[in-house]
């Protein structure tokens, strides 16, 4: 049984009564500011009512409920907010008796029906009533039209009140803007009100003395981040630019959605990233890019070996670079601005887009990347001080961001000869194990080479030999370098020549463990994004491999089947 404290009930009853006295502007503004609290109270009330076995019991237990709900129904602010409206209606539904057993219940039913009637129609004898009655269209249509027109009028007023120039002769009528924005808090997710919401948002950004209510802006960012609101790109970028809390929320929310639903998100990672509008905003504003990176760097540092996080960073950076190059040269900052603290010798090779390098030159390009990285690593090994260590971490993070080059190296390893493999394996190892301390990089390099040899033998043998299959499974589940090995393995699965049936057999026998499958999905999604970018039509072979791999990975585990 939900227990309400006497003070809580008193508080909200007093509020409801004072709001009900008159629907003046100040009443509505007060309601607007208390909406969050009201919603949680209504939620509790709803839960309490749902546990009642009859209306009579409900009225006895919650004596205030009739007056309370009744008064709230006359408050347009409460009704206009979709969440509190829904809670209110559901509470009323709880109090309605399908088969009333006594006078109290019959009366309650009539009262509820009257309330509902009031909610959908205008007061008789009023001009509004006459207009709706004779409009020749449904009341819904009439109210939508009227709402659109009011929104249009008010949007114009907001736009006219400030044009953003510092010496604007038009005085900013601050009082009105503040009132309007507070009143609009419940309407943030109402699609008819979208132009007004956008105009108020813009106003808060371009007008130096803007008085747009803070809670309004907060409500807008919460609605955007939790995907209850669709906004124009320009508005979102402005929001990110001027509201650090919103930007952080959006970055973390993207990460959360990535981590919480791998099966869905990994299939379309670049779509999710682009929908967040973070790449677009980052291309336009350097500080946004730096902030998002900072957040993701910290996450990466806390969660060791997080494949999903790395895939996200890689795809995000890829999308960002795409947007950046699409901007007009005069509108964009040089790349150095986005990657401070990194030497140009590193930025050069890593930030080159894969599409700008012909396939035949990939090996050379990767060699260049390797040499630049190695220089940083070697100076750390020599100096051993904190600054040098930081330099290695920064370089490694850049490699994570430009992970499409690592994927390229992995692809080349599928067909490479021994003499070319060394640089490629080095890159792969560095990517998965950046430092010697705690990661034993030198040991990993050896393991990587051995794994590569094993995988090559596995995929070149026709048919795949059982002992190779077993060895592969062991390697994938061992603690050492399992991500690196999985990475290599998947690239072989996608790019190696030979009939699909052989590859299918290998996959079926090797990728069994649920944890392995999950990590594999992420690696695959990064590969997919890279291939989409190169704008070269995928060979049928590669297409079918990717498709088949996905299907295998998404199918339920043998162990979990009943």
Partner 1 sequence: MDAVLGRLQQVVELLVVSQLDCVNEWDHQTMLRAFEWAQYCEQVHARSHSNPALRSALESRLHDTNQRLRETLPSYSPVMLSELAQCQHKLLVNLLRNPSSPSSIIHVFSLDRKTAEQGLDMDQIPVITGKSALKLLCCSSDWTSYSGLQNETEVRGKLLKEHLKSILTQYGNENSARILLDSILHDSAGKTENLYGVIAAALLASDDDTNNVSRDVILDWLQIHDGCLSKLCRSLPPRLCCALSRESVTFRRGYCDVLKRWANNLEYDVMHSAWVPTCSITSEETVTFNVLFDRFRALLYSGSPVKEETETKLAELKVESGDFDVKGISVWTDLILKLKV
From 478, 223, 493, 103, select the one nearest 111 (Cα to Cα).
Answer: 103
The answer to whether 108 touches 97, Cβ cutoff 8 Å, is yes
Judged by DSSP in three states, 45 sits in helix
Asked if 543 interacts with partner 1 (CB under 8 A), we say: no
Shortest gap between Cβ of 190 and partner 1 (angstroms)?
6
- Residues 169-188 touching partner 1, rule: CB under 8 A, are 173, 176, 179-180, 182-184, 186-187
Nearer Cβ to partner 1 (23/40): 23
Q: Which is nearer to partner 1, 147 or 512 (CB)?
A: 147
| Angle, vertex CA 359, rays to CA 354 and CA 363, nearest 5 | 90
CA torsion, points 112, 118, 120, 122, in degrees to nearest 10?
170
Cβ(526)–Cβ(508) below 8 Å: no
Burial class (CB in 10 A: 0-12, 13-18, 19+), 461: middle
**Which contiguous run of DSSP H or E holds residue 508?**
helix 500-510
Residue 190 binds partner 1 (CB under 8 A): yes
Q: Is 110 in the site for partner 1 (CB under 8 A)?
A: yes
# of chain residues touching partner 1 (CB under 8 A): 72
> How many residues does the structure list for the chain?
562
Neighbours of 257 (CB within 10 A): 16
Q: Which stretch binds partner 1 (CB under 8 A): 93-101, 296-304, 483-491, 549-557?
A: 93-101
Closest Cα partner for 473 from 437, 511, 517?
A: 511
In the bound state with partner 1, the residue whose beta carbon lies nearer, of 50 and 298, is: 50
Span 63-82, contacts to partner 1 by CB under 8 A: 76-77, 79-80, 82
Instruction: Find the binding residues for partner 1 in span 222-241 (CB under 8 A).
Output: none
User: Which residues within the stretch 191-220 sit at the binding site for partner 1 (CB under 8 A)?
Assistant: 192-193, 196
The stretch near partner 1 (CB under 8 A) out of 150-158, 231-239, 347-355, 411-419 is: 150-158
Sign of the alpha-carbon torsion through 435, 437, 438, 440: positive
User: Judged by CB under 8 A, does residue 93 bind partner 1?
Assistant: yes
Closer to partner 1 by CB, 136 or 340: give it: 136
**Tokens linked to 120:** 């959908």
Considering the rule CB under 8 A, would residue 25 count as an interface residue with partner 1?
yes
119 binds partner 1 (CB under 8 A): yes
Closer residue to partner 1, CB minimum distance, 157 or 234:
157
Which residues, 26 to 65, sit near partner 1 by CB under 8 A? Answer: 28-29
Query: Do you find a cis peptide bond into 463, omega within 30 degrees of 0?
Result: yes
Q: Between residue 289 and residue 328, which ones bind partner 1 under the rule CB under 8 A?
A: none
514 interacts with partner 1 by CB under 8 A: no
Distance of closest approach, residue 146 Cβ to partner 1, in angstroms: 5
* Site membership for partner 1, residue 116 (CB under 8 A): yes
- Residues 127-146 binding partner 1 (CB under 8 A) are 127-131, 133-140, 142-146
Looking at residue 329, what DSSP letter applies?
G
CA angle 479–413–313, rounded 5-degree value = 65
Does position 440 interact with partner 1 (CB under 8 A)? The reply is: no
Q: What is the CA radius of gyration of the chain?
A: 31
């Amino acid at each position: 049984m939900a227990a309400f404290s006497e003070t809580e009930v008193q508080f909200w009853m007093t509020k409801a009564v004072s709001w009900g006295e008159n629907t003046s502007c100040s009443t509505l503004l007060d309601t607007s500011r208390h909406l969050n609290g009201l919603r949680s109270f209504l939620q509790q009330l709803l839960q309490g009512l749902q546990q009642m076995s009859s209306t009579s019991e409900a009225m006895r237990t919650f004596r205030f409920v009739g007056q309370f709900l009744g008064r709230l129904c006359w408050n347009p602010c409460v009704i206009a907010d979709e969440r509190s409206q829904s809670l209110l209606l559901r509470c009323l539904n709880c109090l309605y008796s399908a088969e009333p057993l006594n006078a109290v219940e019959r009366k309650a039913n009539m009262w509820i029906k009257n309330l509902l009637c009031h909610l959908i129609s205008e007061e008789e004898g009023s001009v509004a009533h006459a207009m709706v009655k004779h409009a020749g269209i449904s009341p819904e249509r009439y109210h939508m039209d009227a709402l659109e027109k009011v929104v249009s009028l008010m949007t114009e007023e907001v736009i006219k009140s400030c044009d953003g120039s510092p010496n604007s002769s038009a005085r900013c009528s601050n009082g009105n803007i503040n009132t309007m924005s507070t009143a609009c808090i419940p309407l943030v997710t109402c699609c008819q009100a979208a132009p007004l919401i956008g105009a108020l948002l813009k106003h808060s950004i371009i007008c130096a003395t803007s008085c747009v209510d803070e809670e309004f802006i907060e409500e807008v960012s919460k609605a955007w981040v939790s995907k209850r609101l669709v906004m124009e790109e320009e508005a979102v970028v402005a929001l990110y630019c001027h509201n650090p809390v919103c930007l952080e929320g959006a970055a973390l929310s993207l990460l959360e959605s990535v981590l919480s639903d791998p099966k869905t998100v990994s299939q379309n990672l670049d779509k999710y990233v682009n929908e967040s509008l973070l790449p677009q905003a980052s291309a336009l504003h350097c500080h946004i890019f730096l902030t998002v990176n900072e957040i993701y760097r910290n996450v990466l540092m806390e969660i060791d070996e997080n494949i999903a996080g790395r895939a996200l960073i890689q795809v995000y950076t890829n999308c960002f670079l795409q947007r950046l190059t699409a901007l007009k040269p005069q509108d964009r900052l040089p790349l150095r601005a986005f990657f401070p603290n990194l030497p140009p010798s590193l930025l050069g090779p890593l930030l080159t887009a894969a599409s700008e390098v012909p396939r035949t030159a990939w090996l050379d390009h990767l060699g260049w990347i390797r040499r630049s990285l190695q220089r940083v690593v070697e100076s750390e090994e020599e100096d051993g001080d904190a600054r040098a260590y930081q330099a290695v971490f920064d370089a490694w993070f850049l490699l994570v961001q430009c992970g499409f080059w690592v994927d390229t190296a992995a692809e080349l390893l599928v067909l490479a000869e021994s003499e070319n493999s060394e640089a490629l394996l080095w890159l792969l190892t560095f990517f998965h194990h950046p430092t010697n301390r705690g990661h034993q990089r030198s040991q990993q390099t050896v393991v990587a080479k051995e794994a590569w040899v094993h995988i090559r033998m596995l995929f070149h043998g026709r048919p795949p030999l059982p002992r190779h299959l077993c060895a592969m499974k062991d390697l994938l589940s061992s603690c050492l370098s399992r991500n690196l090995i999985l990475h290599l393995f998947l690239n072989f699965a996608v790019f190696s020549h030979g009939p699909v049936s052989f590859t299918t057999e290998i996959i079926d026998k090797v990728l069994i463990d649920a944890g392995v499958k999950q990590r594999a999905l992420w690696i695959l999604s990064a590969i997919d994004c890279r291939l989409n970018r190169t704008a070269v039509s995928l060979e049928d072979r590669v297409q079918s491999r990717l498709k088949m791999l996905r299907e295998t990975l998404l199918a339920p585990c043998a162990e979990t089947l009943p």
